[in-house]
Amino acid sequence: MSTRAKKSGVAYDIERKMEENYDREEAQGTPKKIMTWINEVMSSNDKDYKPLDEKEFDWKSICTFLRDGVVLCKFLNVLMEKAGCGKVSFSKKVANNFAAMTNIENFNKGCEQYGLAREFSFQSGDLWELRKGPFYNVINCLHSLGFVANSRSFIPGYTGEVTKYMDRD
């Protein structure tokens, strides 16, 4: 049972809109393309990597898989190494949420060093709290990171597509 108070008013509307945005990206296959890309990159660069099974590419499984920031940091380090950039530091053994949040912050800082615009980063809570609406920010970050990697000719390339939507509200 959740101890979090239910959102209402503007907060509810924002959360609902973010969930709708995630659903739209999911319908376009964006989360699946992101996880396929991460699995390809990590499987060929980290012998200890255990990929997320394609049957588990739903938002909650992806969020849980990435939640402690370890996979994100390892993944970014592969991208940065191939680009000749430094690596981000991270805790491999996440014993508490503070360590996880630090990993996520280090990932975001590393993304900026790699060339991702700051507005595409996300807050640690967007990933850590396991909520669908805020997880949209994580997907948006990784999707945008894929385009930066493509612009740097990283192989394997990210196959996600830019889809423009008209805001209905």
Give residue-wise pLDDT tens across range 33-54.
999 999 999 999 999 999 999 9
pLDDT in tens, 56-115: 999 999 999 999 999 999 999 999 999 999 999 999 999 899 999 999 999 999 999 999
Q: What is the domain extent for residue 98?
A: 24-44+55-151
Name the one residue in this structure whose structure tokens are 């739903």: 58
Amino acid at 151: S
pLDDT in tens, 111-162: 999 999 999 999 999 999 999 999 999 999 999 999 999 999 999 999 998 7
- Number of domains comprising the chain: 1
Q: How confident is the model at residue 13 (pLDDT cuts 50, 70, 90)?
A: confident
Q: Look at residue 3 and tell me if it is in a domain.
A: no
Q: Look at residue 49 and tell me if it is in a domain.
A: no
- Start-to-end CA distance of the chain, whole Å, equals 33
Q: Look at residue 66 and tell me if it is in a domain.
A: yes
Q: Is the pLDDT of residue 8 over 90?
A: no
DSSP three-state, residue 155: coil
Q: What percent of the chain has pLDDT over 70?
A: 92
Q: Look at residue 99 and tell me if it is in a domain.
A: yes
Q: Look at residue 164 and tell me if it is in a domain.
A: no
What CATH number is associated with residue 29?
1.10.418.10
CB-count exposure of residue 85 (10 Å: 0-12, 13-18, 19+): middle
